[in-house]
């Protein structure tokens, strides 16, 4: 879980050193594959190999245009990508307005679905979403990758999409291994093909739950998003609950009847915890700025209240846990950083 740094590139980015890209913290890479009914990006194969050789998760996208039928475009996209082992959900890039756009989008989604069982996602700009409302019923639940160049990852307005998996927050980013400016993104694990919700049903056995897909498979030793909520399953496929460590982070997964990942504020055993937002869910420690206020959480994740010392500085919080700053109170002066100095 959590957020993952990513880039997207095409033949316009020239030569790329994907070893250096990986060394700069990038984990996900989207490659342009096709545009229209005939264009195929000449760099895709080379870039794909570079990504795979450096353990980068890789996906492909198609640029939708209005000059050829969406069926022909879906076929072009599928033919280009079908022989590769993609990690990330293939994306339909929609950012050009033309007559009949919503119909084109709907027909492309339908045509691609007839060619493959691989799930399809969608990329577009915040300012462009209004042009897509007539296709809302078809696209609203698709994995959505949103472009909004505010240089502030995940600070995005609400819209009708229910499964936002990526935010492209700048087109002038700098990444080692790419010689010129490039698009920088922040993704969730929802961009992985393996994490797209698969049809199935919950089954209880011996007071434990598991989720069986319609093809008989089930998730083991990992996360799965089911009906908009994240669940963690053990090595045998049983749904986990309560506090669980996954990777480097702790998550709270509710009780045995509701193992969905929790987010936001959590009151547990008379202690307050903060679990990030619905795309993250990991228990926070140390300093955290939440809704404009600073809080401090111990190594156990519990919110600290009252007096405490960090890094040689004394701090004090209100009873709500908010750090006291920029005020003289209780016989102390608290500066803008919350450092306390006793008044004489």
C-alpha pair distances (Å), 129 with each of 73, 77, 134, 177, 325: 21, 23, 10, 33, 41
> Is 8 considered catalytic here?
yes
User: What is the three-class DSSP state of 113?
Assistant: helix
C-alpha pair distances (Å), 339 with each of 149, 288, 299, 314, 320: 35, 16, 21, 6, 18
C-alpha pair distances (Å), 228 with each of 38, 90, 162, 344: 36, 19, 8, 56
- Reported as type and span, the H/E element at residue 272 is strand 271-274
Using CA atoms, how far apart are residues 336 and 344, in angstroms rounded to an integer?
Answer: 19
Catalytic pick from 95, 103, 171, 277?
A: 95
**154: how many CB neighbours lie within 10 A of its CB?**
17
* Residue carrying the six token digits 């250096």: 20
Using CA atoms, how far apart are residues 257 and 332, in angstroms rounded to an integer?
Answer: 49
> Is 280 considered catalytic here?
no
Q: Which of the residues are catalytic?
A: 8, 95
């Amino acid at each position: 879980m959590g957020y993952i740094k990513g880039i997207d590139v095409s033949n316009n980015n020239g030569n790329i050193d994907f070893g250096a890209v990986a060394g700069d913290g990038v984990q996900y890479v989207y490659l342009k594959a096709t545009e229209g009914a005939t264009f195929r990006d000449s760099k895709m194969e080379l870039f794909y190999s570079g990504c795979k050789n450096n353990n980068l998760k890789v996906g492909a996208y198609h640029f939708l245009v209005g000059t050829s039928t969406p069926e022909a475009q879906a076929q072009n996209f599928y033919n280009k990508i079908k022989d590769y082992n993609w990690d990330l959900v293939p994306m339909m890039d929609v950012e050009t307005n033309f007559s009949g756009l919503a119909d084109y989008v709907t027909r492309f989604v339908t045509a691609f679905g007839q060619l493959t069982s691989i799930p399809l996602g969608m990329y577009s700009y915040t300012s462009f979403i209004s042009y897509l409302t007539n296709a809302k019923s078809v696209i609203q639940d698709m994995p959505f990758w949103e472009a909004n160049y505010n240089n502030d990852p995940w600070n995005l307005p609400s819209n009708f999409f229910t499964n936002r998996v990526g935010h492209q927050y700048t087109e002038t980013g700098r990444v080692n291994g790419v010689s010129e400016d490039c698009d920088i993104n922040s993704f969730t694990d929802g961009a992985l093909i393996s994490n797209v919700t698969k049809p199935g049903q919950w089954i209880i056995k011996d007071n434990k739950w598991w989720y069986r897909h319609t093809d008989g498979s089930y998730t083991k030793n990992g996360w799965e998003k089911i009906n908009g909520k994240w669940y963690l399953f053990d090595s045998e496929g049983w749904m986990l609950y309560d506090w669980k460590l996954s990777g480097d982070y702790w998550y709270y997964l509710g009780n045995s009847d509701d193992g969905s990942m929790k987010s936001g504020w959590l009151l547990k055993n008379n202690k307050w915890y903060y679990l990030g937002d619905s795309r993250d869910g990991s228990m926070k420690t140390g300093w955290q700025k939440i809704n404009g206020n600073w809080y401090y959480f111990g190594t156990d994740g519990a919110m600290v209240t009252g007096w405490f010392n960090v890094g040689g500085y004394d701090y004090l919080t209100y009873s709500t846990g908010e750090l006291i700053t920029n005020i003289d109170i209780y016989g102390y002066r608290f500066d803008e950083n919350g450092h306390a100095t006793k008044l004489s």
